[in-house]
Amino acid sequence: MPSVELIASSLVSGFLLGGILALTALGLSLVLGVMRLVNLAHGEFLIAGAYAGLFLVKYTGIDPLLGLVVIGGAIALLALPVHRFLLMPLAGKGPEAPMMTTFGLSIILQNVFVLAFSADTRAIERDYANVALTMGPVTVGQIYVIGFAISALVIAAVHILIAYTAFGRDLRASAADAEAAATVGVNVRRVHALTFALGAGCAALGGTLIGIAFSFTPVSGATYLLTDFAIVVLGGLGNILGTLIGGITLGILQSIGGVVLGDGYRDLVGLALFLVVLAFRPQGLLASSRS
Amino acid sequence: MTTQISSTRGSRSVATSGGMVVTGVLLIGLCIMIFVPHVVGEYGTQIGFRALIYLTLAEAWNLLAGYGGLVSLGSSSFVGIGAYILMGMLNAGGFGIAAALTASGLGASALAVIVSPAVFRLRGLYFTVGTLALGEALRLFMINVSYFGGATGIFLNSNPPPIEVLYVYAVALAGIATLVMEVSTGTRFSILLRSVRDDEDAASQVGVRAFRVKLAAFAVASLLMGAAGGLQALKLGAIEPYGMFGLQWSIDTLSIVIIGGLGVRFGPIVGTVFVIALAEALADYPELHLAMTGVILILVIRFAPKGLCGLAQDLYRAFIGRSGRARAPQAGGAQT
């Protein structure tokens, strides 16, 4: 029987990590909700963010947390041509063609990462990532607290962007009914391009945080893609705040799985949960959007 | 959905007028291939074995995705389960290879039935993500559970049969896959399957039991994949979860069918030849090979949605004029 301190610390760590995971899942949820696109290259966008943070600190000395805006913006900009030249020409060809194209992109990016940066396991080394905070029986890594705070801020900002701005109105209209939105003058193509870029940018931010808190390899993206899908399923498609709740739920469940079954089972818990929810509560998937 | 409508037309003509011919050509080809080991030597036989395993997997995947619209990224789940079942049975002793391979197929089929409520619950794209999650979940499970050998995997107690013998099993398996495809694409079942693919609601309205039709295709395809995984395990003599449940199986299978021609009867064989040739050419550069596969996939999806077979069909029509009806199988066959 593990000690109370260990259990309490695991649960709090899981809660905080869940917030970071929610940020990584946000883009996947947005793209799926607005564009009806399963972006199988989402995990690679996340890893691209982790590499961007790594090289930012290596070559400029700028702390990746201070450079987050630059990293997110850079990856979002890189995502625009992907949408313009790979996905947009496939509009109207059914849902499989764009999805398989992102799968091809995912394979390309993984192997380009290996060729360019080697297959080594990397981590963004920062002093503040190794500090532990203790409060009562709970001990958690300081980076978890910082990561959670940043993630919650970004998620809140995206929520405000979508709920209260003109772009958000266009986005919600396109998500509800793209054809109707187009007839009343919404530039759906532009909304899709910006949504895709926003999703990639959020994934990159999450990736940088993951890169500081943990380690990553060129092929880590696949694991995060599936974890993020579990979060999207739990939180409801395209539901911003639901994503946060889904992420936290998954983070806590992963921690419980890690404590009860052993650390190797952490990721398995998320995948099993995903399949079980699909089997028994699929309506949870579409809680806030029409199919 | 314009492409889907045209693809229905294309595959129907293939199924009705070209299907028997294709199956005949394939079976005769496989009969000839039995004698290949005597001609090409050991290395050639190895490549032939791999091609036959790929062909079996691709035929199964084409049934799912091409005819059923069920794009799976979980081929590795069924390959892996088949591999573990075969190893378990042969190590337990008392079972012949044919019995163990049958069990591999049936076990994979059972897995398909068990997970079907989860992966079919929501339509279309969720099937893809669900099957992807299934493969990863099974891999993590096998790595962590020591009963199944953990990350080290399982070794075969006895010596695996020589490659010449394995090769004959592979020819037989590919032959069975061809016959299964003939039955699945040449009978009423193929019409049911394609009606579900093109419009599940409309099909249900006229009395097609969509869930059962999809499940039947899923179970049959998984049976073939499980047997192929078992045979691959027998050749390796030692299996571990990273390899047998690796995403590579899913990528290879999908690439073969999409490059060859999705929903085209001759697609898998054309794709197998192409993918094996590419793998041999880039054998020393694995990362470049995979990246190239990704590039080719994107190009084919964009510019040749019916794959190389579709391209051949278009070229043939351009040369002959518009009279070439359902000649794609023969045109595709000319490349092999």
Reading the block at residue A130, the tokens are 């190794």
Range of the domain at B321: 2-333
pLDDT at A290 over 50: no
Radius of gyration of chain B (CA): 19
Point out the residue among A95, A101, A114 whose CB comes nearest to the CB of B298: A101
Higher pLDDT, A72 or B196: A72
| Interface-testing mutation among B70, B113, B125, with chain A (most A C-beta atoms within 10 A) | B125
**Of B7, B69, B77, B4, the residue nearest B244 (C-alpha):** B77
Question: Could B2 and A93 be called an inter-chain contact, meaning their C-beta atoms sit closer than 8 Å?
Answer: yes
End-to-end CA distance of chain B: 31
Q: pLDDT tens across B181-236, in order?
A: 988 888 888 888 888 888 888 888 888 888 889 999 999 999 999 999 999 999 99
Q: Which chain B residue has the Cα nearest residue A95?
A: B125
Please answer whether residues B272 and B55 qualify as being in contact, where contact means their C-beta atoms are separated by less than 8 angstroms: yes
- Confidence at residue B333, expressed as pLDDT on a 0 to 100 scale: 39
Query: What CA–CA distance (Å, rounded) separates A209 from B267?
Result: 44
Query: What CA–CA distance (Å, rounded) separates B304 from B293?
Result: 15
**Whole-number Cα distances in Å, B47 to B14, B36, B37, B260:** 29, 11, 10, 18
Domains of chain A: 4-286 (1.10.3470)
| 3-class secondary-structure state, position B154 | strand
Query: What CA–CA distance (Å, rounded) separates A99 from A136?
Result: 48
For residue A209, the tally of other CB atoms under 10 A from its CB is 32
- Confidence at residue B14, expressed as pLDDT on a 0 to 100 scale: 42
A96 in contact with B, Cβ within 8 Å: yes
Average pLDDT for B303-311: 91
Radius of gyration of chain A (CA): 19
pLDDT at A218 over 80: yes
- Confidence at residue B330, expressed as pLDDT on a 0 to 100 scale: 46
B1 in contact with A, Cβ within 8 Å: yes
Query: Could you write out the DSSP letters of every residue in B64-94?
Result: IIIIT----S-HHHHHHHHHHHHHHHHHH-S
Higher pLDDT, B86 or A263: B86
Query: What CA–CA distance (Å, rounded) separates A2 from A63?
Result: 37
- Confidence at residue B188, expressed as pLDDT on a 0 to 100 scale: 86
Instruction: Count CA within 13 A, CB hemisphere, residue B160.
Output: 21
Please answer whether residues A248 and A27 qualify as being in contact, where contact means their C-beta atoms are separated by less than 8 angstroms: no
**Of B218, B214, B271, the residue nearest B78 (C-alpha):** B218
Q: pLDDT tens across B157-185, in order?
A: 888 899 889 999 999 999 999 999 988 88
Question: Could A267 and B140 be called an inter-chain contact, meaning their C-beta atoms sit closer than 8 Å?
Answer: yes
B151 in contact with A, Cβ within 8 Å: no
- Confidence at residue B223, expressed as pLDDT on a 0 to 100 scale: 97
- With 0-12 / 13-18 / 19 or more C-beta atoms within 10 angstroms meaning exposed / middle / buried, residue B12 is middle
B256 in contact with A, Cβ within 8 Å: no
Average pLDDT for B70-98: 93
pLDDT at B52 over 60: yes
CA–CA min distance A230, chain B (Å): 9
pTM: 0.87
| Interface-testing mutation among B145, B287, B292, with chain A (most A C-beta atoms within 10 A) | B287
Query: What CA–CA distance (Å, rounded) separates B84 from B331?
Result: 40
Q: Which chain A residue has the Cα nearest residue B69?
A: A96
B32 in contact with A, Cβ within 8 Å: no
**ipTM score assigned to the predicted complex:** 0.89
CA–CA min distance A66, chain B (Å): 33
Question: Over the range B153-188, which residues count as b (16 or more CB within 10 Å of their CB) and which as e?
Answer: bbebeeebeebeebbebbbbbbbbbbebbbebbbee
Reading the block at residue B271, the tokens are 């794709």
Q: pLDDT tens across A107-166, in order?
A: 999 999 999 999 999 999 888 888 888 888 888 989 999 999 999 999 999 999 999 999
Beta bridge partners of A216: A122
Question: Could A95 and B137 be called an inter-chain contact, meaning their C-beta atoms sit closer than 8 Å?
Answer: no
* Structural domains in chain B (count): 1
Q: What is the CATH number of the domain that holds B279?
A: 1.10.3470
- Confidence at residue B123, expressed as pLDDT on a 0 to 100 scale: 67
Q: Residue B162 carries which DSSP code?
A: P
Q: Which chain A residue has the Cα nearest residue B305?
A: A97
CA–CA min distance B86, chain A (Å): 24
**Whole-number Cα distances in Å, B263 to A148, B15, B181, B200:** 47, 10, 11, 18
B152 in contact with A, Cβ within 8 Å: no
Indicate the range of A124-133, A202-211, A229-238, B255-264 predicted with least confidence: A229-238
